[in-house]
Amino acid sequence: MSEASAPHAADRRELTAAQRNAVAELLRVSPVADELGHRFVRAGHELHLVGGSVRDALLGRLGDDLDFCTDAHPDETLRILKGWAESIWETGREFGTIGAQRDGLQLEITTFRAESYDQVSRNPVVVYGTSLDEDLKRRDFTINAMAVSLPEHRFTDPHGGLDDLSAKVIRTPSTPGESFGDDPLRMLRAARFAAQLRFAVHPDVHTAMTEMAADLDRITAERIRDEFTKLLCGADPITGLRLLVDTGLAERFLPELTGLKLEIDEHAQHKDVYEHTLTVVENAVSYEEEGCDFILRMAALLHDAGKPATKAVGSDGRVSFHHHEVVGARLTKARMKAMRYPKEVTAKVTALVALHLRFYGYGRGEWTDSAVRRYVADAGDLLPRLHKLTRSDCTTRNRRKAAQLAADYDALEDRIARIAAEEDLARVRPDLDGNAIMELLGVPPGPVVGRAWKHLKEQRLEHGPLDRDAAEAELLRWARAEGLIE
């Protein structure tokens, strides 16, 4: 960090006093924490608000989930909570954590830990610690290694977390090599916090992330998936994504992102596909109406994943990526499966990647009403996201071209709305249902009914709604052509 960007010492002292007062005030207006602290003290134990709860309180955004640590073991914590908590759960007991609820707050109380890690899987092996300082030293980052003791509100910050919070820097309590050696997932967590908090990683942390990136291979796909999802849903996912690529971490679990750096986008010659992709993600975030739409963000991230495999240079020197949406959909499905995303989430992201290029033929005036119906039918309930993804994909600096693309998509949406008002496009169905098909053809349930239904749906997409007589006539015509009736 340059001297110009670092806060003066006097500023830090002033900020520290203000932040400490903020913590005390937050705890004062939230008596649950103090009540719990008194119960632990009366039982002869310590209780400290710790980790993300202290960090978020200092940032002025303390939520409804509070994290505590204590010298009491789980059995003792359960005895203290009994009769006071409205509900108690023990799902984290093997890690020394007991959960509880009180006055709408979710509380997690964890016994002091001094973890060691299995040197093969890097999964934590829980060993109970004996002091607050020991517990704080094992935590991932200094901004998560602060505590407020209860009920006296004593602030503990042995690793300078408050200064790092003020400077917006992510640093480790011990050396980065030691911290990441204990748990390589912390490297991904550093990128995640950079995305969530808009913080910068300390140069030493960045160096260790780069040198130790291969250690991430020892972490399970599920743990990587969960951290990456939080990163992509952060307030500033671009910062996190850049960190993953620059340090080599992306190559360990999302190589498609790194692979985009060398590909030139034929629609935007001023930037490569990697930069274009980050811009599309940023645009997609701007279209969200409330909270994170992970499916939209992931589709934006992977929409051009097929370009490296489809790159071709013509005799005129022009670069093309024909059918990259097809290849990209296949790569997206395989990558999300490897990362253990749920099938339904994977299917939606894959469908958006496959459909994201469909619109680009519209502006030439070649689309019939049938083409519009198929666009809507193929998108299904993903249509609102497809609208946002397609608009996000326009990153050209050519103002005239950008304005034309926006106008073309406005026209398409207007046309969809007009046809939808006439035909109920949200539920495109054949004009005869299965029962009517069986009755008219005199056939039992089976493959013939399915084939007939599919044919009538195609007619519905091609020509719009048919009245009952026309639909029956078309079904009989098809059945004769198929040799099903004379």
C-beta atoms surrounding 106 within 10 Å: 15
Given a contact cutoff of 8 angstroms between Cβ atoms, the answer to whether 192 and 227 are in contact is yes
DSSP-derived letter for residue 204 is H
At residue 120, the pLDDT reads: 55
Query: Which tokens belong to 439?
Result: 């009755």
Residues near 190 by Cβ (< 8 Å), separated by ≥ 6?
Answer: 140, 141, 170, 201, 205, 209, 243
At residue 16, the pLDDT reads: 59
Distance of CA 200 to the CA centre of its chain: 20
At residue 431, the pLDDT reads: 59
Helix (H, G, I), strand (E, B) or coil at 168: coil
Per-residue model confidence as pLDDT tens for the chain (486 residues): 333 333 334 344 444 565 666 666 666 657 899 999 999 999 999 999 999 989 988 887 878 899 999 999 999 999 999 999 999 999 989 889 999 999 989 999 999 987 555 555 555 566 788 899 999 998 999 999 999 999 988 889 999 999 999 899 999 999 999 999 989 999 999 999 999 999 999 999 999 999 999 999 999 999 999 999 999 999 999 999 999 999 999 999 999 999 998 655 555 444 589 999 999 999 999 999 889 999 999 999 999 999 988 888 777 777 778 789 899 999 999 999 999 999 999 999 999 999 998 887 665 666 777 788 878 888 888 999 999 999 999 887 778 888 888 888 888 888 888 877 665 544 455 556 777 778 778 888 888 878 877 777 777 766 776 777 777 777 788 778 877 776
Angle at alpha carbon of residue 38, lines to 34 and 39, rounded to 5°: 120
Q: Which residue has 């059995």 as its token pair?
A: 75
At residue 21, the pLDDT reads: 65
At residue 11, the pLDDT reads: 41
How far is the CA of 436 from the CAs of 73, 442, 464, in angstroms?
A: 68, 10, 19
At residue 333, the pLDDT reads: 97
Helix (H, G, I), strand (E, B) or coil at 482: coil
Nearest to 212 by CA among 238, 234, 183: 183
| Cβ neighbourhood burial of 223 (10 Å; 0-12, 13-18, 19+) | middle
Q: Which phi and psi angles does 111 have, rounded to 5°?
A: -65, 140
CA distance 265 to 310: 12
At residue 423, the pLDDT reads: 57
At residue 6, the pLDDT reads: 38
CA distance 313 to 395: 22
CA distance 106 to 275: 41
CB contact burial 156-188 (16+ within 10 A = b; e otherwise): bbebbbbbbbbbebbbbbbebeebbbbbbbbbb
At residue 222, the pLDDT reads: 96
Numbers of helices and strands, H then E, in the chain? 24, 13
Q: Which phi and psi angles does 97 have, rounded to 5°?
A: -110, 130
Q: Look up the pTM and report it.
A: 0.80
Q: How many CA within 13 A on the CB side of residue 367?
A: 21
Helix (H, G, I), strand (E, B) or coil at 408: helix
DSSP-derived letter for residue 128 is B
Q: Tell me the CATH number for domain 174-253.
A: 1.10.110.30
Task: Look up the CATH architecture of domain 9-167.
Answer: 2-Layer Sandwich (3.30)
Amino acid type, 354: A
Nearest to 170 by CA among 144, 148, 136: 144
